[in-house]
Chains A and B, each alone.
Chain A
Amino acid sequence: MSSRFDEPIIEIPEPPPSTAPGPWDELRRYTPAAVAAIAVLGAWELITRVLSVETFILPRPSQIAASFIDTADIIWVAGLNTLIEALGGFVAGTLLAVLAALATVRWSGVRQGLMPFAIAANSVPIIALAPIANAWFSITSPVPKMVVVAIIVFFPVMINTTRGLTEVDEAELELMRSFAAEPREVFRRVRIPNALPYFFNALKVASTLSLIGAIVAEYFGGPEDVLGRYIINRANLLQVPDAWAAIVVASLLGIAFYGLILIAERVFMPWHVSLRSGEA
């Protein structure tokens, strides 16, 4: 057993260097965006001052900032109430969508019966249901808004999750077959992990849609201490900087919501392509 055959023959190549971006690289990456933001705000401030644009048409960023600070207690409470509606609808819609996706994958009859309608419904402006939802449920509660949001969230999440569960690499299924894996095993070890990227992409879309849905649904009436009502009321009173300050709150909430989903994605899918070094 001493032939040269027993010697290790393969030189193991180094894996591609994992150049995880350090904090400074991150900072450098965001510099252009920060510069652009400052430039836009600066130009906005300058132009509105130089041309003496009326405040009720377009307030200056400095006025919005002042309003943002002065009305902080009101707009953040309104923001929280809107966020509760959006989150409630988001969670309910996502849960139902995942259940529906699982059902469509388990029973192909359900899929054939349901998917065409789901895809059609996905392009229906569901927000138009908002006044009707107000009539269905107690208008003073957040429920009608949650219902609208849940319906809006349902379709993209259901369609994407179904795709992720069904569009599995044929070779992976054959591999599982070669191990004589039960359908339950295939589901757990191949279909569900395969669906996660589709699912999280849908959640990213849904997070944005849920805030839009909640705010627009509020325009159709209901309790006053929410962002949608507040924006309408302040705009009607020509207190436009206040309305803008509320829009800033809505934007910050939207970004935070989206960011939360990005973090969840990283936690649940440490293998994901977009997290590979140099490919983000």
Chain B
Amino acid sequence: MAEPPVVNARGVGKTFGAGVSRVVALRNIDLTVPAGEFISLIGPSGCGKSTLLRLIGDLLDPTEGTLEINGKTAAQARRDRDYGMVFQKATLLDWRTVRRNVELPLEIMDVDEGERRTRAAAMLELVQLNDFGDHYPWQLSGGMQQRVAIARALTFNPALLLMDEPFGALDEMTRELMQQELLRIWRETGTTVMFVTHSIPEAVFLSTRVIVMSPRPGEISDVVPVPLRRPRNEDTRESDEYYGKITEVREALRALEAPAS
């Protein structure tokens, strides 16, 4: 039997509220993500891309359809610690040092102290913050905090990394460096990534496929495969193929606005 896909969504929908305040946030989502992919979700505000990510991560329950993660329900996948999550805010615990923030999931999973130390050190190495283990979060810049959040999400080798605009609050330079870092980490860990973003170049640079979503109600309107050569680097950003893909995604997003105007 073949391995089940990491994400398998069939007709997934989410409706908030009831009666007059009823809002259909997502409708008819069909999505299959095989292991090892890097999927970006892009679309205008209100297209439900964050909602979709939260459904997959079992932070919300779908109101329609079926959703399987590694062949299990999302709730079971969460209990099995299949998810690493990174939000727009780093959400580091103020009272813990960087190292102990990275160890947090391992503590919850009752991993013994020696093993925790080793894993946290390896993760801090991975995000290039080895010298900052004993710092408190407030002593780090925004980009560094976000790297700690990534390290924390990866300490327990989750099958699926869910990222909700993780670089949204960073300046452009830091952002590009972080994208490069993330690709390196993705390559080194082989984890599957689902990445919500507002930025077309970011989605194209990172992804194997870009999922374009449309608002009211949130639906998948287009899927743009991005077969750019890897490893991607600064040269990628200057290549014609890269610009071509950016244009393709931009046009897919423009097409959404056309009927309204």
Contacts and interface: CB of A to CB of B under 8 A. Distances in A.
A3 B132 contact: no
Interface string A212-246: 00000000000000000000000000000000000
A192 to B, nearest CB: 10
Interface string A3-26: 111101110110110100000000
Nearest to B188: A6
A193 B83 contact: no
15 contacts: A3-B231, A3-B233, A8-B128, A9-B184, A10-B177, A15-B139, A15-B140, A175-B87, A176-B108, A178-B57, A178-B85, A179-B105, A190-B93, A193-B93, A271-B136
Q: Please list the 10 inter-chain residue pairs (A to B) with the smallest Cβ-Cβ separation, ordered nearest first.
A: A5-B231, A178-B85, A193-B95, A171-B91, A271-B95, A179-B105, A15-B139, A181-B108, A180-B79, A179-B108
A269 interface: yes
A18 to B, nearest CB: 7
Interface of A: 3-6, 8-10, 12-13, 15-16, 18, 169, 171-172, 174-181, 185, 189-190, 193, 196, 269, 271, 273, 276
A15 B108 contact: no
A266 to B, nearest CB: 13
B118 interface: no
Contacts of B79: 180
Contacts of A5: 184, 231, 233
A193 B87 CA distance: 21
Contacts, number: 79
Given A178-B59, A178-B78, A178-B85, A9 B177 contact: yes
A177 B181 contact: no
Given A15-B140, A18-B139, A172 B95 contact: no
Contacts of A180: 78-81, 108
Contacts of A6: 184
B94 interface: yes
A13 B144 contact: yes
B191 interface: no
**B: interface residue count bin:** 35 or more
A238 B195 CA distance: 79
Contacts of B209: none
A215 B14 CA distance: 62
A180 B131 CA distance: 30
A12 B131 CA distance: 10
Contacts of A176: 108
B113 interface: no
Nearest to A16: B139
B72 to A, nearest CB: 13
A172 B94 CA distance: 11
A179 B233 contact: no
Nearest to B59: A174
A189 B104 contact: yes
B181 A9 contact: yes
Contacts of A174: 59, 85, 87
Nearest to A190: B93
B81 A179 contact: yes
A12 B104 contact: no
A270 to B, nearest CB: 8
Contacts of B198: none
A10 B181 contact: yes
Contact of A177 (B59, B84, B141): B59
A95 B231 CA distance: 60
Nearest to A13: B141
B117 interface: no
Nearest to B81: A180
A10 B128 contact: yes
Given A12-B129, A180-B80, A185-B108, 10 more contacts: A8-B128, A9-B184, A10-B181, A18-B139, A178-B57, A178-B83, A178-B85, A189-B93, A193-B93, A269-B95
